[in-house]
Amino acid sequence: MPVPSRGYGDLDQVRIRDGIDACRSAFQELYDTDLRRAVLLLNDRRLTFSTLYIVSPRIEERVYPYLRERLVAAIRLIERVRGDGSAQGGRRRMDQAEHGALRWILDTGYAQDGLDETYEEVMERAVSLLINIYHDTAILPRVADMIFARYRKGRNIHDLTWAYFQSDHPDALRLIARRFSSDDSSDTKLARGLLHIDNDDLENGEYQSYLRWLRDNDPYLYFTGESLQYASAPAFYRVDPVRKYLQKGTASYRRKPVTPADEEERGRLEAFSELAEEEKNILAAHSQKVHTRDAAAWKRWMGRPVEEQLRAAKARGEGSI
């Protein structure tokens, strides 16, 4: 058993030293005999979410006014996950206090992820709220760690993964790509699956190779909203071949249709939209190459009919997007 650190509060020290049941019993006894002291221990700034979670079933609503705001927000979240009907009135407030409480849950609770299934669900909801409501992308590295840790243990990653990709942030991709070089084969398997990379796509130096791909395609990248509820191998993100073909990137990572600049571009877009998906990808990749090499040459190339562009791209053996 790890040696308790001086950085932990008294209740955490009991949990770490003596275990969950001992911590729960000790708190219950204190709660029944000396409520004031029990509240003091809960309000200790060093208290972790893990310990609060363990003792929370004993804490009655009449005590909430004496607790730190973040503790009450955390207890309310636990109650909602447990499906306690009395918690329905305690719907979340979208404010800085709740944001702080959710960060506290994640920061002090993630190390114990897997304590039990309700705990996992609470962590998922905290992550989901932080990303979807507070757009807190600073948590992505921690969430990525949780996803991979759960996967190694065969635990559920579905809602955590969904929330993670709801961030619509390219860091979500970079953080996963880092696992390409992991010594643990389950990490690399999951990383490839999440990023939709076939075994043969990237071989040597695949992390650097992926980063190069990401840099080149970033302006055309969008997140799809697909999830494991929808498909076996969801494509969480894609490259928009229309934007790449026209070399019209966007700062947004949500798909936005291109508005043609003039009639000429409208015609080109119409011809492009008639192509098969594979041909669109070939043409988009070729367009990017020509543009990178020589912008003036690209302008001349774009003036040619789409069929001619495609023939040139195929002749150069252009591959996938």
Partner 1 sequence: MIAIGGQPFDIDTLADVYAPDSLEWDILGRMSDSAGTYAYDSLSDLSFELTLRREIVSAARALARSRFSFAVFHKSRCNEDYWDRTASGGFDLKEGAVPSEAVMDIYTNGGKYATECATAILVVYYRALLETYGAGRFNALFPRIHLMNWSGLDPLIREAGTPKKAADQLPGDRGYFRNPEVDPETPEWQGENVIILSDTLYYGHGIGVTRAEGIIRGLNAHRKEGATQSAYLMDEVGRPDFKKLAALYDEGAVRGAYPEWGLSHPRVSVMY
Nearest Cα residue to 281 out of 250, 315, 243, 225: 243
Q: What does the alpha-carbon distance between residue 156 and residue 273 come to, in Å, rounded to a whole number?
A: 39
Closest distance to partner 1 from the beta carbon of 155 (Å): 5
186 versus 209: smaller Cβ distance to partner 1: 186
16 versus 140: smaller Cβ distance to partner 1: 140
158 versus 215: smaller Cβ distance to partner 1: 158
Closest distance to partner 1 from the beta carbon of 188 (Å): 18
Q: What does the alpha-carbon distance between residue 123 and residue 125 come to, in Å, rounded to a whole number?
A: 5
121 versus 187: smaller Cβ distance to partner 1: 121
Closest distance to partner 1 from the beta carbon of 109 (Å): 16
Binding part of the chain for partner 1, among 153-161, 178-186, 240-248, 288-296 by CB under 8 A, reads: 153-161
Q: Which two tokens stand for residue 294?
A: 């020589």
In the block, residue with structure tokens 């942030």: 169
- Could you tell me if 195 and 177 are in contact, meaning their C-beta atoms sit under 8 angstroms apart? yes
Closest distance to partner 1 from the beta carbon of 131 (Å): 7
- Could you tell me if 61 and 86 are in contact, meaning their C-beta atoms sit under 8 angstroms apart? yes
Closest distance to partner 1 from the beta carbon of 166 (Å): 8
43 versus 132: smaller Cβ distance to partner 1: 132
**Footprint of partner 1 on 40-99 (CB under 8 A):** 80, 92, 94
Q: Based on C-alpha coordinates, what's the Rg of the chain? A: 26
Among 17, 103, 142, 155, binds partner 1 (CB under 8 A): 155
Q: What does the alpha-carbon distance between residue 242 and residue 220 come to, in Å, rounded to a whole number?
A: 9
- Could you tell me if 196 and 173 are in contact, meaning their C-beta atoms sit under 8 angstroms apart? no
Report how far apart, in Å, the C-alpha atoms of 100 and of each of 69, 130, 174 are. Answer: 10, 10, 26
Binding residues (CB under 8 A) for partner 1: these are 80, 92, 94, 117-118, 120-121, 124-125, 128-129, 131-133, 153-159, 162-163, 166, 225, 227-233
